[in-house]
Amino acid sequence: AQKVTQAQTEISVVEKEDVTLDCVYETRDTTYYLFWYKQPPSGELVFLIRRNSFDEQNEISGRYSWNFQKSTSSFNFTITASQVVDSAVYFCALSSNSGGSNYKLTFGKGTLLTVNP
């Protein structure tokens, strides 16, 4: 079975603060993919990043960065100098071959990020 845990239900920060969203995953597979999606109030999930289990390189994209650590089964997401437009629900998700269904995403419960001006 696979599982994604996002322990932070809600986070509130003031604009320009840095914020880290935590994600811990469980899978028996050695090959898997991890994702982050953003869900703004409009409801549409927007893809942010994908990482495969063999690539532990951290990634930076503008104000966004991701820290993948297989040793702790974590894939954390940091927003630097947060902005009000970053306010949304952020989901971490996992895709693996468990059960022969490699196309399904297992999502965490999400973290609601509120950035106050």
Interacting residues toward another protein by CB under 8 A: 4, 9, 31-33, 37, 42-47, 50, 52, 91, 93, 95-97, 101-110
CB of 69 to another protein, least distance (A): 19
One-letter amino acid of 43? G
Beta bridge partners of 74: 24, 69
Bridge partners of 114, per DSSP, are 12
Q: What angle do CA 38, 107, 42 make, to 5 degrees?
A: 30
42 vs 71, beta carbon nearer another protein: 42
The angle at the Cα of 89, spanning 85 to 91, to the nearest 5 degrees, equals: 125
Q: Which is nearer to another protein, 10 or 18 (CB)?
A: 10
Strands 64-69 and 19-21: unpaired
* Least distance between another protein and beta carbon 111 (Å): 10
Closest distance between another protein and the C-beta of residue 91, in Å?
Answer: 5
Nearer to another protein, 31 or 81 (CB): 31
